[in-house]
Structure 1
């Protein structure tokens, strides 16, 4: 079957993307079959090719879109914040909220780097470095302001990102700790990691 009447191409693409993320998360990119993906969104295989002409290109575009969305959302969250401690607190909150709300995207964004071509891999790594650089700027600005002292900016930034990103592996909405409580704990952990005194 083709696209149902009254359904736009953009809506179909959103449905394809959602179904693909679910399939890649459950089975891995290499095991994702386009025929099954078409069935997931009630399309004929031929119609799916209008949205996913090449499986490899689709993966690269998907992971790139996820990173661009992360960067855009982060820029909006940090708007108007100048003081390093406030920016650090906002970053920790943003990172936890974004990565726990989008656990599947986070998982495939990390695990499926191996499935990218060299050119695709370079694009995604470049976007990840953009995010890392923005976090590193927070750490550097706090150090200049005398709020904390770190031995190595890049190592400390990577340690901070690793600390926070790992939450998406185990966090559950129905778990022992609510998200707000978890965020406050990690905000304190972040300032301790940087050698600052928690408030």
Structure 2
């Protein structure tokens, strides 16, 4: 990302990203102009180009940063049995995404607005995360803890289920996040256990 040098510049760059994140999540990428982002930040439109060459690059940078942070944050304890590794994944995924609703919304809903080149990069990062879960499921199948016909389908189904929490959970609602994690872990574990021993 193009930017000027200095601590003030770094602060402004962060504000540009934060403003773009909020506006893209609230109105959709296509509906947001560079002028709106500049107004949100409190700078002239021309000043934005010190921090990003265009709106597409802003979207790509937000998505890439989110997925790289996701990959860096998840620690797969391969010393644990697959059911324990899977439970850790379930709880991590829900909690990580709960803290970043705007980034999650953009990462899933704005893929269509990426250029082909940027889409390929984001898809590689998404696949890297999916591969971590699939490795856990495959290990469980190999050890007889899980019973699924296709580990890739099971992976995608589990991620879709877990990410769905963001669409309905509210911190001031009936259930705590801990309670939601426990119930979703129960659902995922039962789905993957199939005819194998119950977890």
Q: Provide TM-score, normalisation by structure 2.
A: 0.90
* Counterpart residue number, 1:56: 56
* Counterpart residue number, 2:177: 179
Tell me, yes or no, if the aligned pair for 2:62 and 2:103 is still in contact at 8 Å.
no
Shift of 1:81: 4.7
Shift of 1:153: 0.8
* Counterpart residue number, 1:39: 39
Shift of 1:8: 2.7
Worse-matched range after superposition: 112-121 or 141-150: 141-150
* Counterpart residue number, 1:197: 198
Structure 2: how far apart are the matches of 1:12 and 1:142? 47
Structure 2: how far apart are the matches of 1:127 and 1:13? 23
Structure 1: how far apart are the matches of 2:79 and 2:174? 32
Structure 2: how far apart are the matches of 1:15 and 1:31? 20
Q: What pairs with 1:9-88 in structure 2 (closer than 5 Å)?
A: 9-75=9-75, 78-79=76-77, 81-88=79-86
| Cα separation, partners in 2 of 1:80 and 1:145, compared to 1, 3 Å | closer
Structure 2: how far apart are the matches of 1:179 and 1:10? 34
Structure 2: how far apart are the matches of 1:87 and 1:140? 12
Tell me, yes or no, if the aligned pair for 1:160 and 1:193 is still in contact at 8 Å.
no
Structure 2: how far apart are the matches of 1:86 and 1:10? 41
* Counterpart residue number, 2:110: 112
| Cα separation, partners in 2 of 1:11 and 1:81, compared to 1, 3 Å | farther
Tell me, yes or no, if the aligned pair for 2:20 and 2:58 is still in contact at 8 Å.
no
Structure 2: how far apart are the matches of 1:62 and 1:114? 15
Aligned alpha-carbon RMSD (Å)? 1.5
Tell me, yes or no, if the aligned pair for 2:25 and 2:105 is still in contact at 8 Å.
yes
Q: What pairs with 1:73-152 in structure 2 (closer than 5 Å)?
A: 73-75=73-75, 78-79=76-77, 81-152=79-150
Partner of 1:146: helix, strand, or coil? coil
Structure 2: how far apart are the matches of 1:154 and 1:105? 24
**Structure 2 unaligned regions, length at least 5:** 1-5
Aligned residues: 191
* Counterpart residue number, 2:3: none
Shift of 1:41: 1.4
Shift of 1:9: 2.2
Structure 2: how far apart are the matches of 1:80 and 1:125? 25
In the TM superposition, structure 1's runs of 4+ consecutive aligned residues that sit over 3 Å from their partners are 79-82
Shift of 1:7: 5.3
Structure 1: how far apart are the matches of 2:64 and 2:164? 21
Partner of 1:30: helix, strand, or coil? helix
